[in-house]
Homo-oligomer: A and B are copies of this chain.
Amino acid sequence: MRAFITGGAGFIGSSVADQLLSDGHEVIVWDNFSTGQERFLEKALISPACQLVRGDNLEVKALTQAMSGCDIVFHFGANADVRFGLHHPERDLQQNTLATFGVLEAVRANGIKRIAFSSTGSVYGEAETIPTPEDAPFPVQTSLYGASKLACEGLIAAYCEGFGLEGYIFRFVSILGERYTHGHVFDFYKQLQEHPGHLDVLGDGRQRKSYLHIGDCVRAMLHAVESGSARDMKHRVQIYNLGTNDYCEVKDSIGWICARLGLQPELRFKGGDRGWVGDNPFIFLDTAKIRALGWAPKLTIREGVERTVDWLAANPWIFDART
Contact = CB atoms under 8 A, between A and B. Distances in A.
A144 interface: yes
Contacts of A237: 140
Contacts of A93: 97-98, 101, 155
26 contacts: A85-B158, A85-B162, A89-B159, A93-B155, A97-B97, A98-B98, A135-B138, A136-B137, A138-B138, A140-B157, A140-B235, A140-B239, A141-B154, A141-B155, A141-B157, A141-B161, A142-B158, A142-B161, A143-B162, A146-B154, A147-B151, A147-B157, A150-B151, A150-B154, A161-B277, A162-B278
Contacts of A71: none
B154 A86 contact: no
A58 B101 CA distance: 18
Report the contact-size class of chain A (Cβ under 8 Å from the partner).
35 or more
The A interface, classified by DSSP as helix, strand, loop or mixed, is helix
Q: How many monomers of this chain does the complex have? A: 2
A139 interface: yes
Contacts of A124: 138
Interface of A: 85-86, 89-90, 93, 97-98, 101, 104-105, 124-125, 134-144, 146-148, 150-151, 153-155, 157-159, 161-163, 235, 237, 239, 277-278
Nearest to A139: B138
A143 B155 CA distance: 8
Nearest to A136: B138
Contact of A143 (B161, B163, B235, B278): B161
A154 to B, nearest CB: 3
A138 B137 contact: yes
Contact of A97 (B134, B141, B151, B162): B151
A130 to B, nearest CB: 14
Contacts of A104: 89
Contact of A142 (B90, B135, B155, B157): B157
Given A141-B161, A142-B158, A143-B158, 13 more contacts: A89-B101, A90-B105, A97-B97, A138-B139, A140-B157, A140-B235, A140-B237, A141-B157, A142-B161, A143-B162, A144-B162, A148-B154, A151-B151
- 9 closest Cβ pairs, A-B complex: A147-B154, A151-B151, A135-B137, A141-B157, A141-B154, A147-B158, A144-B158, A86-B162, A142-B161
